Structure 1
Amino acid sequence: MNFSINLNKIALIRDSRGSDNPSISDYAQQSIDLGVDGLTLHPRPDLRHAKPSDISMFDEICLKANKEFNIEGNLFSPSSKNYPGFIPLVNAHNPHQVTLVPDADGQITSDHGWKIEQLDNIFKSEVSKFKKNINHVSIFIDDDFSNFDKLNEIGINSIEIYTGPFAKVIKNGKKHEIHNAQNKISKIIESARLNNLKVNAGHDLNLDNLPYLKECGDIDEVSIGHAIIVDSLKYGFKDTINMYIEIIKK
């Protein structure tokens, strides 16, 4: 299982003071030096955290270190004052992976996946606008998604399972609910594999629930951000990254 760290929260703290402290490039390089497999950013149209300049910076850092760069966003996000639009932003860089989320422009965080009725010819047309050297075009889905045969038709070759509900069940700690939640994830993984899709997972993953997620089956990559910054307040950034790597890689 690969580990991609989302550093949006570092950008959020930086932007709250209008300076370059903390330096997101320093934390990106620290993460790579500590052994993460890739970097993730989710630039939003309101530029509340990651900015287009951060995308350029991460693009260079990952290229130099031979690490994977994942850009998240809504492919329908148009241009605004200092935001070029999601597809132009992606195509101006060289990400290894693009993860498509159905977030509204002002949404606080990703909290649901795409619905099958949204994956129409318009969606397919937009996906086709991404340049061809992107290895994986991934789609954010709920844990009850079932129309996997549709994804290859529209140019999707990877999924990211929205693990927010899964994390909530693990936190509540009821054994039968945990078992049911793990079964749902396992079925998603199995269906995705039958359709030759890469399987990622993300949202609300942390040190407590990752072991339960690993029991569900073979997941290619997890993307984690918020919990890492929270845990860093307790353990420090370096020790936190090492703790996550130990769980993810063992």
Structure 2
Amino acid sequence: MTALSVNVNKIAVLRNSRGGGEPDVVRAARTCLDAGAQGITVHPRPDARHIREADVHALARLCADYRVEYNLEGNPFAPPRPGYPGFFALCAAVRPAQATLVPDGDGQLTSDHGFDFARDSDALTPLVAQLKALGCRVSLFADATGQPDIARARDCGADRIELYTGPFAEAHARGDAASVADCARTARIAQAASLGVNAGHDLSQSNLGDFLRAVPDVLEVSIGHALVSEALYAGLDATVRAYLDCIKNAAP
């Protein structure tokens, strides 16, 4: 069954907006795990707009205590700077179960596109090898457009791709089914190349079930913004359990 990894970036955004330590990112992550989530995802950015270096270490200890997956996302090409030691330094320090590489620039509000594998494969290959030498499973962020070049992610040495589901979520809200067909086609191409398929971005309770019923054999979804937004009304524990129900009900 598809695993749920909860992205707790937005908890850190709220904390940072006021300063201090509340809400507590680790406490929130623990609540998600106690509710049944199978992992925690964070995407530390060079500007520390949400998750900070200290959070990365604290959440690694929590995931180790719970024996669940820790998924660290980041741009492998972003250089280190004060307050941000670089993605590879963070991975070397905490050894996440999964490292998800995302081609986001410093100025992006959020991740909004996948890698161009025809262009980026040569640059990605040695970086993937470095992460695998640390014991990380490697996933590469990918556009869900049915691109045949998706199979080149395997040539880079990656284990999985993560489908960028932002366009799907927008299309789903309009009642347009074409985008989910693109996701399914991309997943099949990746799986034929022996790549596992993850998914994330703007997935929510309103669209997750339809996505999982249409896209075969998704191994993991990472969900943060919608889950935290919905938790403001229903509570974090109840919201995580509702997502787990969505996944269960969508299973064949």
Structure 1 stretches of 4+ with a deviation exceeding 3 A read none
Q: Which residue of 1 aligns with 2:229?
A: 230
| TM score, norm. by length of structure 1 | 0.94
Q: Which runs of 5+ in 2 are unaligned?
A: none
- CA–CA distance in structure 2, aligned partners of residues 163 and 120 of structure 1: 22
1:225-245 Cα deviation digits (max 9, x unpaired): 000111012212121111111
Q: How does 1:17-96 map to 2 (within 5 A)?
A: 17-96=18-97
The DSSP-based 3-state class of the residue aligned with 2:222 is strand
Alignment of 1:148-163 (within 5 A): 148-163=150-165
The residue that corresponds to 2:149 in the other structure is 147
- Count residues with an aligned counterpart: 246
* Alpha-carbon spacing, 1:156–1:131, altered in 2? closer, same or farther (3 Å): closer
Greater percentage in helix: 2
Q: Which amino acid aligns with 2:152?
A: K
Correspondence for 1:182? 180
For 1:54 and 1:131, the matched residues in 2 are separated by: 23
1:90 and 1:130 in contact (8 A); partners too:
yes
In 2, Cα distance between the equivalents of 1:149 and 1:193?
Answer: 9
* Structure 1 residue aligned with 2:102: 101
- What stretches of structure 1 of length at least 5 have no aligned partner? none
Identity of aligned residues (%): 38
One-letter code of the match for 2:181?
N
Residues 240-249 or 147-156, more deviating: 147-156
- Separation (CA, whole Å) in 2 of partners of 1:138 and 1:55: 18
- SS state of the match for residue 120, structure 1? helix
Alignment of 1:157-176 (within 5 A): 157-173=159-175
CA contact (8 A) 2:151 2:189 kept: no
Normalising by structure 2, report the TM-score: 0.94
Contact residue 99 and residue 131 of structure 2 kept, 8 A: no
Indicate how the Cα distance of structure 1 residues 32 and 90 shifts in structure 2: closer, same or farther if over 3 A, else same: same
- Structure-2 separation of matches of 1:142 and 1:131: 23
Q: Is the 8 A contact 1:91 1:131 kept in 2?
A: no
Identify the range of structure 1 (103-112 vs 129-138) with the bigger mean alpha-carbon deviation.
Answer: 129-138
CA-based RMSD: 1.3
8 Å Cα contact 1:6-1:225 kept in structure 2: yes
Residues in 2 aligned to 1:210 and 1:25: alpha-carbon distance in whole angstroms:
25
Task: Give the distance between the partners of 1:56 and 1:241, measured in 2 at CA.
Answer: 23
Q: Deviations over 1:157-186 (max 9, x none)?
A: 10000000100111012xxx31x2222111
The CA distance in 2 between the partners of 1:148 and 1:167, in whole Å, is 21
